[in-house]
Homo-oligomer: A and B are copies of this chain.
Amino acid sequence: MTTPPSPTVAPANGRLGVLTVGLGAVASTLIAGVELVKRGVSLPVGSLTQMGNIRLGKRTDKRSPLIKDFVPIATLDDIVFGAWDPFPDDAYVAATRAGVLEGGKHIEAISEALRDVRPMPAAFDREYVKRIDADNTMHTINKRDMLNAIRVDINRFREDKQVDRVVMLWAASTEIFIEPGPAHMSLDAFEAAIDANDHTIAPSMLYAYAAILEGVPFANGAPNLTVDIPALRDLAVEKKVPISGKDFKTGQTLIKTVIGPMLRARMLGLSGWYSTNILGNRDGEVLDDPDNFKTKEESKLGVLEHILDPVTFPDLYGDVYHKVRINYYPPRGDNKEGWDNIDLFGWLGYPMQLKIDFLCRDSILAAPLALDLVLFSDLAQRAGLSGIQEWLSFYYKAPMVAPGLHAEHDLFVQQSKLENTLRWMMGEDQITHLGREYYDEI
């Protein structure tokens, strides 16, 4: 297989507008963090674009530039934020309510910048998120009106803030479960369904559609279908707009896509995996509704199936009992705890157990992913890549892939894919880890 020719990447000139759907815990943590980093108060820990490096050439070449010095991504100083949210709270109030950041040190210090981000009325329909009851909305559930209003918002934002490019990020609550249906199969059907106010057209799809129509890359941090339907995938290619999703890979699933590959790499068998989560933020509350949980569950369950490949390995993975629970548990707020019990077996079938308890923070893990997705989506657009960005799988629980392909869930395969894509973009050699050059036998 020969490597295809590298693209030309346009420079990151001008200002980059970032529109988040949702101005809750994740978005306010993202915005506050970017402001704090810009002021040199804190570090953007967890962000590959800001802190990561990339090895180039041979191990002995010792060439490992920072990613931000290697590929032309936008700088934080050029970012301008905007948002929609059904709650009227500005980013200052949202950050304070979320309870993620320390008030004195991390909110008050940048209160003005946060106050400046005031949410536009959301394209919101409570049917899709029953546990949220809020009023900063477009006051319509007519889907055509919603679509048009979103497009108007995008253009007004462009003008008001004088941004040269825009990226849109879904950072709102998980919508109820919707299966891909006829309305999603072609642009014509999709258009007709909008006019018919079809139930299978969720608000998130209207945001994604508006984005693509406006030439705005779209990244989906929740497990909703949203942009992962044929109608929008095809349109994105046609309009040369990068899209990616679904569902930020943060706590327990992050661990799962690391431990799963370990079992698989070592050919250790698995009889059961029981995952329980407790969290007390708005996300936990929304997921306490079975309809919304189903969307999340699908996203979380598929991971093991794809990594372990039970069809090929029936003796090892053919009889796995996999269960995922999410429990709303208010005492912890945004601090999530994921507890995993894994029943594995080894040589001759002997059973072993692995227990993993991750005391993590939901929005702290998600914010740097959001930042990277914004910057890489913008980079992709300038590199002329369009449609599904599979190389961004690294960030997602349920990565979007080309039809007919299975998704790669293994975090390290995803990492190779991302890094080799960056190398390819910039005309550097692919890294395979073969490393015969260090040993000259034969």
Q: Which residues of A contact B (CB under 8 A)?
A: 1, 3-4, 7, 29, 33, 36-37, 42-48, 50-53, 57-60, 64, 100-101, 104, 106, 237, 240, 254-255, 258-259, 261-262, 265-269, 271-272, 274, 276, 278, 312-313, 315-316, 321, 323, 325, 327, 329-332, 337, 339, 341, 343, 345-350, 352-361, 363-365, 367-368, 384-388, 390-391, 394, 401-402, 404-406, 408, 410-413, 415-417, 420-421, 424, 429-439, 441-442
Contacts and interface: CB of A to CB of B under 8 A. Distances in A.
A276 B429 contact: no
Nearest to A30: B347
A366 to B, nearest CB: 8
B325 A331 contact: no
29 contacts: A3-B432, A33-B347, A43-B348, A45-B267, A45-B316, A46-B347, A50-B267, A52-B267, A64-B312, A106-B348, A258-B261, A272-B330, A272-B332, A274-B327, A276-B276, A332-B343, A337-B341, A346-B360, A346-B368, A347-B367, A348-B364, A352-B360, A352-B361, A354-B358, A357-B357, A412-B413, A420-B433, A430-B434, A432-B432
Given A45-B345, A274-B327, A315-B43, A421 B441 contact: no
4 smallest CB-CB distances across A and B, nearest first, come from A272-B331, A412-B412, A42-B348, A416-B433
B325 A276 contact: yes
B347 A439 contact: no
B315 A7 contact: no
Copies of the protein in its oligomer: 4
A340 to B, nearest CB: 9
Contacts of A345: 45
Contacts of A106: 348
A267 to B, nearest CB: 5
Contacts of A58: 1
A424 B412 contact: no
Contacts of A274: 278, 327, 329
Nearest to A313: B51
A390 to B, nearest CB: 6
Contacts of A354: 255, 356-360
A429 B1 CA distance: 6
Given A106-B348, A267-B51, A353 B364 contact: no
Contacts of A394: 265
A141 B440 CA distance: 37
B258 A53 contact: no
A436 B424 contact: yes
A435 B390 contact: yes
B36 A348 contact: yes
Contacts of A410: 412
A214 B410 CA distance: 42
- The CB with the most chain B CB atoms within 10 A, among A365, A388, A442, is that of A442
A433 B432 CA distance: 9
Contacts of A406: 59
Nearest to A365: B346
Contact of A441 (B1, B387, B405): B387
B405 A421 contact: no
Contacts of A352: 358-361, 364-365
